[in-house]
Chain A
Amino acid sequence: GAGVSQSPSNKVTEKGKDVELRCDPISGHTALYWYRQSLGQGLEFLIYFQGNSAPDKSGLPSDRFSAERTGGSVSTLTIQRTQQEDSAVYLCASSLGLGFGEQFFGPGTRLTVL
């Protein structure tokens, strides 16, 4: 595919369960970002990967959130022991180079925690 893809598109889970969200960036893009967007709000930065460097985790809201990027490509965002306040759309984006340029966004995963 030519664009960033995310799966699943929708996820409904019960409070306390763990969830995994997947992002497939554009091939060749070294920078990958995860954001969270609550209803009617702007984007909240979560984590940034650049090549093989250690990720910038400064935006993760709690230690229940973690992410990894395998082989410099696919990334997985994991939320453990989900809470209702984790309900949001989780967006992934990738970009070329050092990340100064245009970001290409996936369609997002809508997470609902009951």
Chain B
Amino acid sequence: SQQGEEDPQALSIQEGENATMNCSYKTSINNLQWYRQNSGRGLVHLILIRSNEREKHSGRLRVTLDTSKKSSSLLITASRAADTASYFCATVVNTGNQFYFGTGTSLTVIP
């Protein structure tokens, strides 16, 4: 399976702290994307990092990609209660016709 695996499965932090989630995958990719899912809703795209990029920023989000280790991390800085959600990584292979989603990290930010 090319499915990504997120680590940890669950994370609970205090508001204001940083949250780091990791994603590992198995095969070569075109890009890797992170999505957020609030309870009972669809997924929302957060950030896309291409295979030739190593780091990308968007607001309080920082994503890194290490293709040699087939891993990525998502850092949320200065977390807020509203960041409470599940976070998924999705790997996109070069044929582009399948997204492989991981099992997700459930983040709880305590006010």
Please list the residues of chain A having a beta carbon within 8 angstroms of any beta carbon in chain B.
4, 33, 35, 41-43, 45, 48, 50, 56, 58-59, 91, 93, 98-108
Contact = CB atoms under 8 A, between A and B. Distances in A.
Interface residues of B, number: 23
B25 interface: no
Given A50-B97, A100-B30, A103-B99, A42 B42 contact: no
A36 B42 CA distance: 11
Contacts of A42: 3, 88, 101-104
Given A105-B43, A107-B41, A107-B42, A48 B97 contact: yes
7 contacts: A41-B103, A43-B101, A99-B96, A102-B45, A105-B43, A105-B44, A107-B41
Interface of B: 3, 30-31, 33, 35, 41-45, 48, 88, 90, 92, 96-104
A52 to B, nearest CB: 14
Contacts of B101: 35, 42-43, 45
A56 B42 contact: no
B20 to A, nearest CB: 19
A56 B98 contact: yes
A48 B99 CA distance: 10
Contacts of B45: 102-104
